Amino acid sequence: MQSTLYQGLKVSKSNSTKVNDYLVVEAPLQININNEPYTVVMRTPNDDVELVRGLLFAEDIYKKNTDFDFSIVKSELKIASIVNINIANDELGKGYLNKRTLLSISSCGICGKKELSDIQVTGNSLENNLQLRGSQLHDMYATMNKLQNTYKKSGGSHAAAIFSDKSELLSLKEDIGRHNAVDKTIGDLLSKNKLMQANYLLVSGRVSYEIVIKAFIAKIPVIVAVSACSSLAVDFAKEFGICLIGFTRENKMTIYSNTNSINLLAHD
């Protein structure tokens, strides 16, 4: 269940009318690892396996291609509220030692990160020789917008979509949280063993540094946002070799980093 009907009062200058509006569902999910609480995320239900897998991948806890043991411990109103992941101790990544002990709300990708050193990411910068026309980029956004069914009903969800170098849609997921939507798409491609095909990450809102890091870890060289990018996102993108594009709408866009890596000026 990703959206649900609520009654409201729609007010205009001339009158007021009771309406039934679809609202995007926001519900907590407690994630246990080996029967021990790890973190709590606020998310839109559905695709919980993909959400958890993408999160554990980004947190350097579990990066294998093989599926893990996922079980629902508790459900409320037919929505999972507690899940448990069984991972052998010798398969747990270093990230497990830095448990996210604070509540991770839907708008915060760094909750639980207590020190500046916790947000450092190391690795070689990404390289790509992609050649993409601006018209192709806007076509990809049109594809994503067309498939945002939860947003069409509720107007309250974010979306993330991953495309191949041939502009083929590989995964699209929606969630009340921007970071959750990205985790779901990455988790989906991990499950399908298609993450190596990922080249373009499109997001429906703004981009902060957390999303840049998620793309870097997943080796996705291009991030495209319909809204703004933060200064730290641009700094990280420059450092990591990621082409970061913002304000992509109405045949316009702003490229903030690695502008020479893609041919985005042509629209034919």
Catalytic residue among 108, 111, 229, 243: 108
* Residue 247 labeled ligand binder: yes
Alpha-carbon distance of 24 to 124, in angstroms, equals: 38
Ranges assigned E (strand) in 100-140:
none
Q: Which residue has the tokens 């945002």?
A: 148
* Residue 249 labeled ligand binder: yes
Amino acid at 104: S
Nearest 5 degrees, angle CA 205-CA 194-CA 93? 85
| 108: annotated active-site residue | yes
CA distances from 264 to 253, 254, 257, 260 (A): 9, 10, 12, 9
Judge whether 90 and 58 are in contact, CB under 8 Å: no
Which are the contacts of 146, defined by CB distance < 8 A and separation ≥ 6? none
CA pseudo-torsion sign 195, 196, 202, 205: positive
Token pair listed for 17? 């009318």
* Residue 251 labeled ligand binder: yes
Judge whether 222 and 255 are in contact, CB under 8 Å: no
Token pair listed for 27? 């519900």
Alpha-carbon distance of 254 to 164, in angstroms, equals: 21
* Residue 250 labeled ligand binder: yes
Q: At what angle do helices 48-58 and 209-217 cross, to 10 degrees?
A: 90
Strands 3-11 and 27-33: unpaired
Which segments are annotated as binding site?
Answer: 247-252
Catalytic positions, written as ranges? 108
